[in-house]
């Protein structure tokens, strides 16, 4: 991986820094801004400032170019009781905003301004990194699900969302085709133990390994019970190409529909 180019290498010594080195795109949603800070910091769990007495604040790195200067300065900002404290971190000199934000977070850690917020009392997650993985694996309306549903709808297929194939069985399919009896489950790589992308936790490894194995066993049981009841189960990993997954599901649904009417 090539190291970010610095100002000394890029040659903007006599002109103001280019906008790409410090300005964010206007009109971005808050979620996009937060995601940018998370990436630069190395995860949301690495953005905490300890306010004392068990209180924590989520910080952000701000980049500024002061009037009549050719320098980008990085500041750490957070909220505390209606106030917005800021600490000057130093000058940053890379060509891209992403690299300068990452440099700002590095300096904030070196200055001892940040901490990893401990898990809440009673939390299953033993570390901030595990909590970050858990937050990134929502149970419903994940991005892969939404993309897949959109593609299926464009193919003229109609379905139910987050529904039980068998009302008496506490198993919910992500996409359900009732008449042809096809149940689609979009499985997250972490919770369902994807053999390609599972990143095991280093803390409480046995606990999490047991939990994921339990999920795998539950998935297998779901497939068996639904199969015995005449349902076709389709499982899609979240990392799969949604176009390929859509084509596979469409073929299964249309064939099942022909079989049910033939």
Residue 149's pLDDT is 94
Domain ranges of the chain: 7-110, 128-261
Candidate ranges 8-12, 63-67, 180-184, 205-209; pick with highest mean pLDDT: 180-184
Give the three-class secondary structure for 98. helix
Residue with tokens 């949603």: 29
pLDDT reading at 9 higher than 60:
no
Q: Does domain 128-261 have CATH number 3.30.565.10?
A: no
Q: Which residues contact 97 (CB under 8 A, 6 or more apart)?
A: 20, 21, 22, 23, 24, 63
- Average predicted confidence (pLDDT) for the chain: 83
Q: What is the DSSP string of 163-211?
A: E-SSTTS---EEEEETTTTEEEEEE-TTTTT-TTT----SSSHHHHHHH
Q: Kindly report the three-state secondary structure assignment for every residue of 7-48.
A: HHHHCCCCCCCCHHHCCCCCCCCHHHHHHHHHHHHCCHHHCE
Contact between residue 214 and residue 207 where contact means Cβ atoms under 8 Å apart: no
Residue 17, Cβ density class (10 Å: 0-12 exposed, 13-18 middle, ≥19 buried): buried
pTM above 0.95, yes or no: no
Query: Quick one: pLDDT band at residue 28, thresholds 50, 70, 90?
Result: confident
Q: What digits encode the pLDDT tens for the residues 169-181?
A: 989 999 999 999 9
Q: What digits encode the pLDDT tens for the residues 77-109?
A: 999 888 899 999 999 989 899 999 999 999 999
Q: What digits encode the pLDDT tens for the residues 222-261?
A: 999 999 999 999 999 988 999 999 999 999 999 999 988 7
- Strands 232-237, 182-187: pairing is parallel
């Amino acid at each position: 991986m090539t190291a970010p180019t610095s100002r000394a290498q890029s040659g903007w010594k006599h002109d103001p820094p280019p906008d790409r080195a410090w300005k964010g795109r206007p009109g971005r949603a808050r979620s996009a801004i937060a995601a940018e800070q998370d990436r630069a910091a190395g995860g949301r769990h690495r953005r905490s400032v300890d306010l004392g007495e068990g209180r924590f604040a989520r910080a952000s790195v701000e980049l500024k170019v002061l009037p009549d200067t050719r320098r980008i300065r990085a500041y750490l900002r957070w909220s505390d009781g209606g106030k917005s404290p800021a600490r000057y971190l130093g000058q940053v000199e890379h060509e891209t905003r992403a690299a300068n934000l990452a440099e700002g977070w590095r300096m904030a850690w070196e200055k001892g301004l940040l901490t990893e917020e401990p898990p809440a009392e009673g939390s299953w997650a033993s570390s901030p990194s595990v909590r970050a993985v858990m937050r990134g694996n929502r149970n419903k309306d994940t991005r892969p699900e939404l993309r897949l549903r959109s593609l299926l709808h464009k193919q003229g297929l109609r379905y139910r969302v987050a529904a039980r194939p068998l009302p008496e069985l506490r198993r919910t399919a992500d996409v359900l085709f009732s008449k042809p009896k096809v149940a689609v489950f979009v499985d997250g790589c972490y919770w369902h133990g994807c053999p390609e992308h599972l990143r095991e936790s280093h803390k409480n490894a046995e606990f999490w390994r047991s939990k994921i194995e339990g999920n795998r066993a539950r998935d297998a049981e779901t497939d068996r019970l639904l199969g015995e009841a005449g349902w076709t189960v389709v499982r899609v990993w979240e990392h799969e190409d949604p176009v390929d997954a859509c084509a596979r599901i469409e073929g299964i649904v249309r064939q099942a529909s022909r079989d049910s009417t033939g």
